[in-house]
Structure 1
Amino acid sequence: MRILSQEEISPLLADHPEWTGGAEHLTRVFTAGDFAAAIAVVNKVAAIAEDMNHHPDIDLRWATLRFRVSTHSAGGVTDLDLELARRIEAVLAAESA
């Protein structure tokens, strides 16, 4: 798997400005309504990650979640991470609606 350049990552960041990062990793912070809502989001993202066999780093602090995606075996962000970020974003958008 090939690490993407900043130019290849930029469209995702432009479409989803809550995501930050570059070729090493992408990060998104999300605040849910409460702890139970945050856990529900984690469970939804976990199901996606299992289906993709690609798992983000997730940090949970009460209702605040921090997602970090990268392909550890490649040493940076790959197409798989962009897809995972898009799917996570869809979960977060649905949670915010």
Structure 2
Amino acid sequence: MELYGSFFHHQAGKLQALTMEERDHLLPIMRSAQWVEVVGRDAIYKEFIFKDFNQVQITLSTHDCGGLSQRDISLATFIDQASVL
């Protein structure tokens, strides 16, 4: 439960799309974690395959800012951590 609370607690505030500098820094990190950029859309995608659940496909983008935001990066990181529990 602590993992969930810490994620949602830090997500308040005005959402802004990632700047070019943030993208240049964060997207290579996301690619190294097997997140891919969605062609034709400002979003990231990853497919998870589990032994006991088959698969989950996730696409992240923030509607309020029209593309990727820090919230998407934080959620992707949270999902990666939760997927190994």
TM-score (norm 2): 0.64
Kept in 2, the 8 Å contact 1:71–1:81? The answer is yes
Q: Aligned partners of 1:3, 1:9: CA distance in 2, in Å?
A: 13
Structure 2, unmatched stretches of 5+, are 1-14
* 1:2 counterpart residue number: 16
Work out whether 1:71 is the aligned partner of 2:80: no
Please, which of 2, 22, 46 is the counterpart of residue 28 of structure 1?
46
Paired amino acid for 2:67 = G
In the comparison of the two structures, how many residue pairs are matched?
66
Paired amino acid for 2:45 = T
Deviations 1:1-41 (A, max 9, x none): 2211331432432441x111167111110101133xxxxxx
Deviations 1:48-92 (A, max 9, x none): xxxxxxxxxxxxxxx111011111111111001110000001012
User: Cα gap change, 1:20/1:14 in structure 2, threshold over 3 Å: closer, same or farther?
Assistant: closer
Structure 1, unmatched stretches of 5+, are 36-62
Paired amino acid for 1:24 = D
Q: Percent identity?
A: 23
Give the CA RMSD over aligned residues: 2.0
Kept in 2, the 8 Å contact 1:12–1:82? The answer is no
* 1:91 counterpart residue number: 82
* 1:12 counterpart residue number: 29
